[in-house]
Structure 1
Amino acid sequence: MKLQNLAEHCYAFTGSVTIGYCIKEGKGLLIDSGLDASSMKKVIKILSNEGLPLDYCVITHAHADHFGGAHFLKNKHGTSLFAPKLEKAIMENSILEPIYLFNGANPINDLRNKFLEGQSVVIDDELKIGENSIGPFTFEAIDLPGHSYGQVGVLIEDVLYAADSYFGRDTLVKHVIPFIIDADQTLDSLEKLLHIPCKGAIPGHGDYEENFVYTVQENIDLHEERMKSLIALVNESSEGYSFERVVKEYLKLHKIAVTNVGQWLLFRTSVTAYLTSFERKKLLSFTIRENELIVIPH
């Protein structure tokens, strides 16, 4: 983990997950809190060594790798926490993520881990879309759903902390099919990013870039290709395939070998998000045949 200077008052702790940091009038603001207490201990140690303050933390969305360290921040350091409304509800009841991944049922033990269920934490106040003021900081919370239900990006001091609204190139290659909950919202958010005036941007997983629009376009191109290959797969049979077969064949098509239940459910959610987009466009429909969910092309 390294502290990178992005602008006069803006920094980022870079590593597997980006954690933003801003300083103003002797106050410090974090943007996201990493996976767990260990991540926050590293952040606090670096800040302490640099003589930098820590007073507030804005959390962009309720995925464990972005809010898992918040409980430690609040309980050990009294840091005030802020988050979007729906994401706040999930952070305060973090079992909700494994619940929705497991089709609403009480989740199995394999899903009760720190990567899918961060430690629940009480959020002090909600962020609103648009201008927000916290202590000496004034910033814009930009609505960027698609990867998560109520995800926001934070535009402060002309730097955009974009959360997981887009991914860096290496992350795109690594994940093959990025996690999303809504394909149309994902593409709308990516299109929005192309038109946000700022000095530069840094995603939740990836590098800071002044010319970030090229990386955003790569995200758009990847999702469009993934959707094209999926609808082609569905169209191979006029009678339709079972939903489970669609997921299996789609992962096989993209040379993905799943190794655990949690990983499979994350991929299944993304595939479902693509299929739902096609259903909205009346390119396919869902039905039940012999007790199986069937995907039928139109």
Structure 2
Amino acid sequence: MKITDLNSRFFIIDQGPTYTCGLHTEDGVVLFDTSLDSSKAKKIDKVLQRNVFAIFHTHSHADHIGGDFFFVKKYNSSVYIDKRELSFIVNTFLEPSLLYGGAAYVDITGKFLAADSVELVDRLERGTNFLDENGVDVYDLSGHSPGLTGYLVDEYLFVGDALFSPAIMKKYKILYIFNPLAYHQSLNKIIKIKCKKVIFCHKGMVDKEEVKSIVEINYNHLNSMYNTIYELCNGLTAEEISDELFRKFDVNIDMGLVNLINSTVKGYLHWLEKDGKVKPYYSKGVRWKKV
């Protein structure tokens, strides 16, 4: 666990596979996301050596909120998140349930998809006065999740999972995205935001000029998946389309990944339907065909 100061008040915490950002204030440290679980949160706490006054989240996925329980218990930290994600952080069983489409089975209810919940969470809007006073701008970068939020501090833009590195795309082959259309629109926003550096969680910090090439790689991934799934809309269900993708990309599947990919496929089908290219029908399951 390592802290890198970006200036006198804003810093990055390198957790290995991920970044968390932090801001020194008169009241204590403000964290932008925490970590996967309490054990990692304890390591963050050890290197910080200051009270965590507040936590502002990019989104509610377990690897971003899992450390909240530790900080709220120790410091009574205030926790803020976009209202579209509020229920998921208070009732963390909802995340695997969303992916599965009902009450989730045991294999997908572990800490990687369902963090320890905290009750003292408020809507992001209620914390914006504090952010304004500390010179932090907020951006809606939804797509990877329903209400993903980016934070701009002193020309450093922390986008969480609104942007993925080429290394992550190469490793996982199929990115989990709740709403690929909204993700595409958020990529356009990132390009237009005036900043010096862009920081993304999994993982990197690049100059604004360099981020253009990474955004282009993300565009290409989206377009490739969009076209691939469109070609598979010949009477298959979303689950059958996922199975075709597993084979095409030689993905080593597990019971958690199955749901991530199924959910992503349904997000692309939503986009394709909005574009008027496909429509669903029922025949021993909800199937998709080209219009």
Same fold (TM over 0.5): yes
Within 5 A, what are the aligned runs for 1:1-298?
1-14=1-14, 15-25=16-26, 27-48=28-49, 52-103=50-101, 105-128=102-125, 132-134=129-131, 137-210=134-207, 211-234=210-233, 237=234, 240-258=235-253, 260-289=254-283, 291-298=284-291
Task: From the superposition, tell whether residues 130 and 199 of structure 1 become closer, same or farther in structure 2 (CA, over 3 Å).
Answer: farther
Q: Over residues 39-83 of structure 1, what are the superposed CA-to-partner deviations in whole Å (9 max), with x where a residue is unaligned?
A: 1111111112xxx55322111111000001101100122222111
Structure 1: gaps of 5 or more residues: none
Structure 2: gaps of 5 or more residues: none
AA partner of residue 161 (structure 2): D
Alpha-carbon distance in 2 for matches of 1:128, 1:215: 30
Alpha-carbon distance in 2 for matches of 1:123, 1:216: 35
Using the TM superposition, give the Cα deviation of residue 12 of structure 1 relative to its aligned residue in structure 2, in angstroms.
0.9
Alpha-carbon distance in 1 for matches of 2:262, 2:250: 15
Alpha-carbon distance in 2 for matches of 1:204, 1:79: 22
AA partner of residue 4 (structure 1): T
What TM-score results when the alignment is normalised by the length of structure 2?
0.93
Using the TM superposition, give the Cα deviation of residue 285 of structure 1 relative to its aligned residue in structure 2, in angstroms.
1.0
Greater percentage in helix: 2
Using the TM superposition, give the Cα deviation of residue 213 of structure 1 relative to its aligned residue in structure 2, in angstroms.
2.4
* Percent of aligned positions that are identical: 26
> 2:86 touches 2:121 (CA, 8 Å); kept in 1?
no
Task: From the superposition, tell whether residues 132 and 196 of structure 1 become closer, same or farther in structure 2 (CA, over 3 Å).
Answer: farther
Using the TM superposition, give the Cα deviation of residue 109 of structure 1 relative to its aligned residue in structure 2, in angstroms.
0.9
After superposing the two structures, state which structure 1 stretch, 3-12 or 65-74, moved more.
Answer: 3-12
Could you say what secondary structure the match of 1:252 adopts? helix
Alpha-carbon distance in 1 for matches of 2:238, 2:113: 24
Alpha-carbon distance in 2 for matches of 1:101, 1:68: 18
**Count of aligned pairs between the two proteins:** 288
Alpha-carbon distance in 1 for matches of 2:146, 2:132: 27
Using the TM superposition, give the Cα deviation of residue 212 of structure 1 relative to its aligned residue in structure 2, in angstroms.
2.0
Using the TM superposition, give the Cα deviation of residue 241 of structure 1 relative to its aligned residue in structure 2, in angstroms.
2.5
> 1:21 touches 1:30 (CA, 8 Å); kept in 2?
yes
Alpha-carbon distance in 1 for matches of 2:120, 2:188: 30
